[in-house]
Amino acid sequence: MGGARRRLVELLREKGIRDLAVLRAFDLTPRHAFVPTGVRHRAYEDAPLQIGSGQTISQPSIHARYLEILALNGSERVLEIGTGSGYQTVLLSHLVAQVFTIERIAALFTSARDAINRAGATNVSMLLGDGTVGWREYAPYDAILVSAGGPSVPPALVEQLAEGGRMLVPVGSKEEQTLKLVTRRGTNIETRDVAPVRFVPLYGTQGWEQQ
C-alpha cells in the first residue's frame, strides 16, 4: 500500500497542494486502515467512500485543502467536529500539538478509536457527544474543523476559538453548503467564503435537528 500512498501524495501535489507538512501527513497516514474492507481497494483514490452509519470519508484532496487553508505550524490545539473514520484525526495528529475530536455516533466512535490507536497517534483525545456545542473543558482552540454541514455557524464553537484562531465550517442546506473560514480577532469575528462543498448534515443542538 506504500506505493499507492505515495501516488496519492503526488496526485495531491498535482492538484495544487503545496504545504509540505500536509503532504508528509498524507504520506504517513494509511487511508486503507480507516475504510471498511469492502472498499479498501479504493482507499487511495481521490474519492469519498461510505464508512457506514450513513457517513462518508471525504476525498483526500478535500482533506488536504482544509488542512492547507488552516496554515498549521505544529504548535496548535485543534478541535475536530465529526471524527468519522478517524482518518482526518490522524492527519491532524501529524500537523499539530494536540487534537480533540468529537463524534456523535457510537459505532463510528468505537471503530475510529481503534483505528487511531492502531495508527499510533498519541496526541488525540476523543469524546462521544454533540459536536455542535464543542468541548469547553479544553477550550480555547487555535483551529476548529467541522466535518459536516449545518444551517449556520454554531455560536458555541465561535466562543471556543482562541485569539487569532481559525474555524472551517460548511454552512448551507442539507444538500449543499459553502465552506466558511471564521477567524477571531479580539472581539471581531471575520467570516470569509472559501468554496462550495457538499458534506453530510451536522446534527446537534446548534446544528440540524435529528429526525
**Strand pairing partners for 190?**
183
DSSP 149: B
The position carrying cell 494536540 is: 98
Task: With beta carbons less than 8 A apart as the criterion, state whether 99 and 74 touch.
Answer: no
Cα–Cα nearest to 17, from 55, 63, 49:
63
Cα(110)–Cα(177) distance, integer angstroms: 28
Supply 163's cell numbers: 485569539
Cell 497517534 identifies what position?
A: 121
User: Residue 110: which of 142, 85, 132, 87 has the closest Cα?
Assistant: 85
Considering the candidates 58, 85, 93, 147, report the single residue annotated as catalytic: 58
Q: Is 58 a catalytic residue?
A: yes
The CA-based dihedral angle spanning residues 155, 156, 162, 168, taken in that order and rounded to the nearest 10 degrees: -60
Which residues make Cβ contacts (< 8 Å) with residue 187, sequence separation at least 6? none
For 209, the grid coordinates are: 435537528
Q: CA quadruple 15, 10, 34, 142: dihedral positive or negative?
A: negative
**Catalytic residue positions, numbered:** 58
